Each structure stands twice: as C-alpha cells, then as structure tokens.
Structure 1
Amino acid sequence: MQHSQEFTDASAAFVGVVRQVLSADWERPALGTWSVRSLVGHTARALTTVEEYLALGEPDSPTVGSAEEYFSTFITGATDPGQVALRGVEAGERLGADPLVAILAARERALAVLAVQRPGRIIAVRGAALPLGEYLRTRVFELVVHSLDITRAINADADIPRAPLAGSVLLAASIASATGSGEVLLAALTGRGRLPSGFSVI
C-alpha cells in the first residue's frame, strides 16, 4: 500500500514521543488552548480515523485527487477552530488513565486494517472521497507535525525518520503553493525573505 511505510514509521515515532511524556506533563500547556493530553489525543486521531474510515464502504462520491487538495479544500480556512479544539480535548480524555496503552492499541488496529486493503482503495472523507494512499499522506503529516509540537511542550526529542519528515515538508510546500503562499514560502526557504508573523499553510 502506497505511503503505508511512512505511516508505519511516523506512527512509531509518535509512540516514541508519547513514551517520553511524564505523569506531571499531561496537563502542561502545549499548543494553543490544548494541554499535552489534548494535543496527544488530537494526534492519536491520525491513527483512529484510519481505522474508522476503512470500516466504511467505498464511496460513490467524486474523488478528491490528492492530499494537497484535501487540505486546501477541507482544512485550510474551512474548519471551525473551536470544534477542532473541542475534538482534541475529547480525544485526550478518551485516552484514559494510560494514554500510551490506548495509543499502542490504536496503532496496532490501524496497521492491521491497512495490511488487508487492496491497492487503489478509496475512502469516504468529509463527504467526498480520497485514495487511501493520499489520505495516509495527510495522516503522516499530522503525526510528524504534532509529534514535534509535543516534544517542544515537554522539552524532549523526536526521532522522526527521514522519509515521513521529508514527505511532510514537501506536502507543506505543496499546500502553500495550492493556497497561494508558494512564493512567500520559497523566498523564506531560500533566504530571500521572511515568513509573515503567524504564517501557516493550514
């Protein structure tokens, strides 16, 4: 399955980060209004949504062709930040007394269901449809970006493998290009400009 190895590696790196969270860290501020628990819960949705979406039948709706189109169509500027924040809090609470155990189980289930998918599998996403390989690119991006967020919050290190890290960097650049910020990002990456305050591709 295309991009499944990157998903496997990125999710393993996420588990490695969660292993470093101490009991005193879970309620520390992490990202925006989220505590470490909420941020970890939000990140764990990159595992659970794979399982949830693959449990559904293949959709008949028009297909969104790429991860870039998924982000530019459904995520960038179109998602209610309050609802995203609430889902993160709820996901963190669902992790229970031992978040690592819950995440290990979620990862095992996601990898198991991925292993039996046919090539070219299409999944229903936000009322449209997306090739599974492209959806996995979005999950790798979430796992990598938020694993790094968690390590900053707890003053730890992340061991992100090269392939998922590079894929996430490339996807971020592609999203910027698709949403009209490509020139600004390219100038910054090549030392010819600076990113505006608060700049984000999502």
Structure 2
Amino acid sequence: MDYRRTYRSAAIVFADLVARIPPAALDGPGLGEWTLRDLLGHTVSSALRQVPTVLATTAPTLLVPAPEAYFALARVAPADLVAAARQASAEDARATGAALGDDPADLVSHYIGQATGALAVAGDDDLVATPVGGMRVEDWLPTRTFELVVHASDAAVAAGLPIDFDPDTLASTAALAARIGAAIGHGIPTIRALTGRTTLPTGFSVL
C-alpha cells in the first residue's frame, strides 16, 4: 500500500468530518476526560501540525526501525517518562483545541496542506527526528495515518456522525494495530479474536 496516499486520504476524511461537526458539540464529551475540542486538538497536533517539523529535521541514527516499534516503546519506557509524555500531550491537546476556535475546518485544512506539502518533497528512506528517535519517513508516516484514523473515528463517535475511510487506509491501519499487538506480546490473542476463536479481555488495547 502507498503510505503517502493513505495518509492523504485519512487527512481528507478527517477534514470532512471536522467540517460537519456542529460548533455546539465541540465542548461536549470527546474521549475519556477530553472534550471533543481537546480530541480534535490532539489529532491536529499529533497527526498534522508536527509533520512538517519532523520531516525537516534530520536524524543522525536510525533508532526505531518500524511503525509498530514506535508504539511498542511506551510498554518498555520508564513509567515516569510515559506519565510525563501523557501529561504534556493532554496539555497540548487542550491548547491546540482552544486555538482551533469554533470553526476549526479552515485551520485543519491549512495544516493538511502544510503536512502534505512537506511529505511531497521527503524521501522514503530519509532519516527524520521523531519524538522517540530517528526513523525512516516510510516508517514514521504510517504512525501518523494511524493517529488520524483512530482519532477521527473517536471524534465521529463523540459527535454522532458517520465516517468512512477507503479500504486501503483501513487495511493499513488494522494491519499496523495487529503488528503492534504482536510486538508487545499479544499476537496470538489478537489473531484468535480476529478469527472468532475467542474474545479479547475487557480493556484490551495495543496502545
């Protein structure tokens, strides 16, 4: 699958969803303790706004060799670092959500234009400095598509709106979720649940 095309496709679906969210819903429930505004802010920050910055920053060494390794790192990182990262993410989500205002569609489209423009001139094997270390562009971008698909679906549920992605985008996201499960030692339960052999435990997550 073309990781560039699936990223752009996911971004377009996210932009369409944002344009359909009523302003009155923005300060309602989003995900967990986040409002819908906070959730949109996190999605914009993690999956769109940071893309040009990361793609413009060269890393000297490859440290994270695959998309699933990016997410699996949270399982082995020191608990205090993970807690600090989550707190910083929550604060950024609220600040970015507030900056989006009550009509976020135009700003979201602006960030998508910047991100896809930066991606257009990046090489697949370019080593870039991501928040967790050096990665190839072709390995890091799928983690941003994953963020877009997962959080756009969260936002759609919170807003009570329909959403759909093209089959390749959904397939690549589902495949990455399965690879994360395998990377953190939950490959067999994931496979058996997906094939109807069993159900996953309550609260199971690959993140």
**Would you say the 8 A contact 1:10–1:164 is kept in 2?**
yes
- Match status 1:44 vs 2:52: no
Q: Secondary structure at the match of 2:20?
A: coil
Please point out which of 167, 174, 179 is paired with 2:179.
174
Partner of 1:198 in structure 2?
A: 203
Report the CA distance between 1:94 and its aligned residue. Answer: 2.2
Report the count of equivalent residues. 199
Partner of 1:132 in structure 2?
A: 137
- Match status 1:121 vs 2:159: no
Unaligned runs of 5+ in 2: none
Q: Secondary structure at the match of 1:133?
A: helix
For residues 205 and 94 of structure 2, the distance between their equivalents in structure 1, rounded to whole angstroms, comes to: 22
Report the CA distance between 1:23 and its aligned residue. Answer: 1.1
For residues 97 and 127 of structure 2, the distance between their equivalents in structure 1, rounded to whole angstroms, comes to: 29
- Match status 1:53 vs 2:54: yes
- Match status 1:157 vs 2:162: yes
Q: Secondary structure at the match of 2:204?
A: coil
Partner of 1:95 in structure 2?
A: 100
**Would you say the 8 A contact 1:173–1:182 is kept in 2?**
yes
For residues 40 and 132 of structure 2, the distance between their equivalents in structure 1, rounded to whole angstroms, comes to: 26
Question: How well do the aligned residues superpose, as a CA RMSD in angstroms?
Answer: 1.5
Q: Secondary structure at the match of 1:164?
A: helix
For residues 170 and 67 of structure 1, the distance between their equivalents in structure 2, rounded to whole angstroms, comes to: 11
Partner of 2:33 in structure 1?
A: 33
Worse-superposed segment, 46-55 or 100-109: 46-55
- Match status 1:85 vs 2:90: yes
Instruction: Decide which structure has greater helix share.
Output: 2
Report the CA distance between 1:68 and its aligned residue. Answer: 0.7
Unaligned runs of 5+ in 1: none
TM-score (norm 1): 0.93
TM-score (norm 2): 0.91
**Would you say the 8 A contact 2:23–2:102 is kept in 1?**
no
Report the CA distance between 1:194 and its aligned residue. Answer: 1.3
